[in-house]
Amino acid sequence: MEEHAVIEVTDATFEAEVLDASAQLPIVVDFWAPWCEPCRTLGPLLERLARDSKGAFRLAKVDIDQNKGIAQALKIQSIPFVVAFRNGQVASEFVGAQSEGVVRQFLSRILPDEADGLATEGESLTAGGEVDQAEIRFRAALDLRPRHPRATLGLGRILAASDRADEATTVLAAAVTADGAIGDEIDRLSAELRIRADSASDEAELRARLDAVPGDLATGLELGRLLVGTGRHEEALAVFLEGVRLDREYEDAAARRAMLDIFTLLGRDNELVDEYQRKLSQVMYS
């Protein structure tokens, strides 16, 4: 892993190489510039420690002269500026050239701990089909560090897949807010579980009830949830939108909240989300 211990990162690659990658291992970002004298001392030290870590963390180098977008977004005023990311979030930081002892103390606070190791084992076991053992690892990780994002997501997925939706919802609701890929996946799974709740009815029966009583809001909600459960998101959005049109406040705005959950489930870049966000706004503000 030594050849990947130090990488160059740009404005265009920062999200993938730093925020998303930090879900798998800590990413330490060194913001520097060629004209910065202290950077010439600190940079080689960080690079050596990254290579010596044998993959425990990765060093991402950002030349702020060539990548002003990141520097402006993080409001960097002085360099060298070093920031450690874990699970898409800032874990620690420092400014200025520091001694090797100080840098090692900084690294000790952000390197993987026992909970991280258990979460990694759980992910490997899940990938290998050893779900029962994976669940044990994820629970052990959460005992050591409650709300650990990767352990939370791993356990939530296992519980959701084994018809323990209520427990999965509870586990996910307790998760620490995480940015990047892990946070997005936790949000999507939470939305899917909320939306699929109480969706075990028979579709033909529900449609017959709606034919008999057009505008039956309770039946419409059940039908929408059932459609989501079978992956028919566009049909579900149409049903929920009609519920909003008929009574936007019914059951604490349940139809609108279901639409928002589908938007989260599908992701911001989905064309269906764009279309129904516009339609929902038109209904809400017409």
Q: Spell out the alpha helix ranges (H) of 18-113.
A: 37-52, 68-73, 100-110
Q: According to the model, what pLDDT value does residue 178 have?
A: 56
86 forms beta bridges with: 89
What strand order describes the sheet that includes 58-63? 6-8, 58-63, 27-32, 81-86, 89-95
pLDDT of residue 3: 55
Q: What is the pLDDT of residue 1?
A: 39
Residues 75 and 101 in one domain: yes
Site of tokens 């049909």: 235
**Same domain, residue pair 16 and 102:** yes
Q: By the 8 A CB rule, do 276 and 224 touch?
A: no
Number of H helices and E strands in the chain, helices first, is 14, 5
Do 13 and 106 lie in a common domain? yes
Q: In which domain, by residue range, is 245 found?
A: 203-285
Query: Are residues 6 and 89 both part of a single domain?
Result: yes
Q: Note whether 94 and 143 are same-domain residues.
A: no
Check whether residue 217 and residue 260 sit in a common domain.
yes
Q: Check whether residue 270 and residue 236 sit in a common domain.
A: yes
Q: Each residue's pLDDT tens digit in the chain (286 positions)?
A: 355 899 999 999 999 999 999 988 899 999 999 999 999 999 999 999 999 988 889 999 999 999 999 989 888 989 999 999 988 888 899 999 999 999 999 998 888 888 988 999 999 999 999 999 999 999 999 999 888 888 999 999 999 888 898 899 899 988 765 556 777 888 888 888 887 765 556 889 899 999 999 899 999 998 998 888 788 999 999 999 999 999 999 999 999 999 998 998 888 788 999 999 999 999 988 7
pLDDT on residue 201? 66
Q: Which CATH number fits the domain that encloses residue 129?
A: 1.25.40.10
CATH number, residue 87:
3.40.30.10
Both 97 and 136 in a single domain?
Answer: no
Tell me how far apart the alpha carbons of residues 5 and 127 are, in angstroms, rounded to a whole number: 25
Q: What are the DSSP E strand ranges found in the chain?
A: 6-8, 27-32, 58-63, 81-86, 89-95
Beta pairing, strands 27-32 & 81-86: antiparallel
User: Looking at residue 228, what is its pLDDT?
Assistant: 84
User: Nearest Cα to 145, choosing from 103, 175, 166, 172?
Assistant: 175
Sorted by sequence, the CB contacts under 8 Å of residue 11 that are 6+ apart come out as: 67, 68, 69, 70
Number of domains in the chain: 3
Which of 178, 196, 214 is at the close of a domain? 196
Of 81, 110, 139, the position where a domain reaches its end is 110
State which of 144, 172, 196 marks the end of a domain. 196
Q: Indicate whether this model's pTM tops 0.75.
A: no
Active site amino acids: 36, 39
- Shared domain for 158 and 190, answered yes or no, is yes
Question: Do residues 234 and 155 share a domain?
Answer: no
Q: Where are the alpha helices (DSSP H) in the chain?
A: 14, 37-52, 68-73, 100-110, 114-127, 131-144, 149-161, 165-173, 180-196, 203-212, 217-229, 233-246, 250-266, 271-285
